Amino acid sequence: MSRPVSIPDHLLPADGRFGSGPSKVREDQVGALARAGRGLLGTSHRQAPVKDAVGRIREGLGDFLQLPEGYEILLGMGGATAFWDSAAFGLVREKAQHAAFGEFGAKFASVTDGAPFLAPSTIRTAEPGTRTQVLAEEGVDVYAWPQNETSTGVMAPVRRPDGVERAVPGSRGPLVVVDATSAAGGAAVDLQETDVYYFSPQKNFASDGGLWFGAFSPAAIERIEEISASGRWIPDFLSLHSALENSRKNQTYNTPGLAGLVMLDDQVRWLNEQGGMAWAAARTKDSSDRVYTWAEASDLATPFVTRPEDRSTVVTTVDFHDDVDAAAISAALRAHGVVDVEPYRKLGRNQLRIATFTAVEPDDVSALLACIDVVAEQL
């Protein structure tokens, strides 16, 4: 029988939530919920209090993302996973190409690949912990990849592929569709390099799951209209045309979770007040650098992603040496209220995964690393 591991209280992070989604919610967001308790929660999503909140969120996201002329923020129900189905029905004209270098990229690829009304997708894969990229290909009308692959902690540049012209209305050119679910709100992007930049609110935006948001270019909006008018059968719930019409009225097709909207509204306001995208990206870079610097200097561990330029600034992954049991470390941390640093389940590695989302305090990351050292010494 081994002794229970103990971590002195003064070493513990002030907030022990390091999960990659759902992720830490700031106390102020919970305060905003309490304030919304009478005016908004429990009221109709077709009336001003909720629609005004959705309007503020769309506008605030536009400010944060530095929305180019003509781009629009749309939202819909079901999170990024539902968006994949919506995109297969409503964005891909004929054939998609995916760069799939982890679970999330691969899931979207399997959706378009399996759609019976589309041609089989081109899927470019890479070993976990590395990445690949899309390449210009005749006949492809959607190029897709995740900016941040949350299952492995690999980050990819957001740039139109070489040889692929920017789509403009009337050009029928291919669209670039980027899964920013765990990147948006914590990483920099130039939206001119994308036509659809979509995400769920439960990662850097520190809110609840269940919705998707996206920045859509004029060419993407035209594509939605084109496919919607083509006669293809599209379930109403997944229709991007319906999302477009509802979003422009600051509403959703069916009832959204209001608490999540309130928490998101507060987080977007906070992010913009702090300094917006540049501030958020610098903060997550600071936090993630602390993890990688620690791992590189440590006798216990090493960064999982070998190429430094591929290492995520928002979801860090650290492999432990064979004689150190990462699962025992995460269990001991959990017993002390420091939670959700387990690796992505299907990866099956002796690893910890630590989210360094914008809501996480960099000093709490340093405290976590000190706790890991203390726990490893006692194991």
Indicate the residue among 200 and 298 with the shorter CB distance to ligand PLP.
200
Indicate the residue among 64 and 357 with the shorter CB distance to ligand PLP.
357
Q: Say which residue the tokens 């405290």 belong to.
A: 367
Count of residues binding ligand PLP (CB under 6 A)? 12
Query: In the window 359-378, what residues touch ligand PLP (CB under 6 A)?
Result: none
Q: Minimum CB separation from ligand PLP for residue 183, in Å?
A: 8
User: Which residue in the set 23, 112, 182, 317 belongs to the binding site for ligand PLP (CB under 6 A)?
Assistant: 182
Q: x/- site string to ligand PLP, residues 140 to 179, per CB under 6 A?
A: ------x---x----------------------------x
Q: Minimum CB separation from ligand PLP for residue 55, in Å?
A: 22
Side-by-side strand order, sheet with 142-146: 72-77, 211-216, 196-199, 175-179, 142-146, 96-100, 122-125
Of the listed pieces 24-32, 76-84, 165-173, 353-361, which binds ligand PLP according to CB under 6 A?
76-84
Q: Minimum CB separation from ligand PLP for residue 348, in Å?
A: 18
The CA distance from 95 to 134, in Å, is: 13
- Which residue's C-beta sits nearest to ligand PLP? 79
Indicate the residue among 91 and 329 with the shorter CB distance to ligand PLP.
91
Q: Minimum CB separation from ligand PLP for residue 344, in Å?
A: 10
Structure tokens at 332: 């001991």
User: Which residue in the set 67, 80, 178, 258 belongs to the binding site for ligand PLP (CB under 6 A)?
Assistant: 80
Query: In the window 103-122, what residues touch ligand PLP (CB under 6 A)?
Result: 104
Query: In the window 8-37, what residues touch ligand PLP (CB under 6 A)?
Result: 21
HEC profile for the chain? CCCCCCCCHHHCCCCCECCCCCCCCCHHHHHHHHHHHHHCCCCCCCCHHHHHHHHHHHHHHHHHHCCCCCCEEEEEECHHHHHHHHHHHHCCCCCEEEEECCHHHHHHHHHHHHCCCCCCCEEEECCCCCCCCCCCCCCCCEEEEECEECCCCEECCCCCCCCCCCCCCCCCCCEEEEECCCCCCCCCCCHHHCCEEEECCCCCCCCCCCEEEEEECHHHHHHHHHHHCCCCCCCHHHCHHHHHHHHHCCCCCCCCCHHHHHHHHHHHHHHHHHCHHHHHHHHHHHHHHHHHHHHHHCCCEEECCCCHHHECCCEEEEEECCCCCHHHHHHHHHHCCCECCCCCHHHCCCEEEEECCCCCCHHHHHHHHHHHHHHHHHC
Nearest to 343 by CA among 129, 26, 80: 129
Of the listed pieces 34-42, 78-86, 92-100, 285-293, which binds ligand PLP according to CB under 6 A?
78-86
Query: In the window 205-224, what residues touch ligand PLP (CB under 6 A)?
Result: 209
Indicate the residue among 78 and 375 with the shorter CB distance to ligand PLP.
78
Indicate the residue among 122 and 181 with the shorter CB distance to ligand PLP.
181
Contact call for residue 79 and ligand PLP (CB under 6 A): yes
Q: Minimum CB separation from ligand PLP for residue 149, in Å?
A: 6
Indicate the residue among 108 and 216 with the shorter CB distance to ligand PLP.
108
Indicate the residue among 219 and 315 with the shorter CB distance to ligand PLP.
315
User: Which residue in the set 152, 194, 200, 242 belongs to the binding site for ligand PLP (CB under 6 A)?
Assistant: 200
Per CB under 6 A, residues contacting ligand PLP are 21, 79-81, 104, 146, 150, 179, 181-182, 200, 209
